[in-house]
Amino acid sequence: MGVLMTDLMPILGYDAIEFYVGNARQAAHYYRTAFGFDVVGYAGPEHGV
Question: What is the pLDDT, as a whole number, of residue 1?
Answer: 64
Question: What is the pLDDT, as a whole number, of residue 32?
Answer: 93
Q: Count the Cβ atoms, other than its own, within 10 Å of residue 37.
A: 13
Question: What is the pLDDT, as a whole number, of residue 40?
Answer: 83
d(CA 33, CA 16): 18
Q: Where are the beta strands (DSSP E) in the chain?
A: none
d(CA 47, CA 49): 6
The pLDDT tens digits for 10-48 are 888 888 888 888 888 899 899 999 999 888 877 777 777
Coil, strand or helix at 44: coil
pTM exceeding 0.75: no
Q: Pick the more confident residue, 48 or 6.
A: 6
Q: Pick the more confident residue, 26 or 49.
A: 26
d(CA 23, CA 28): 9
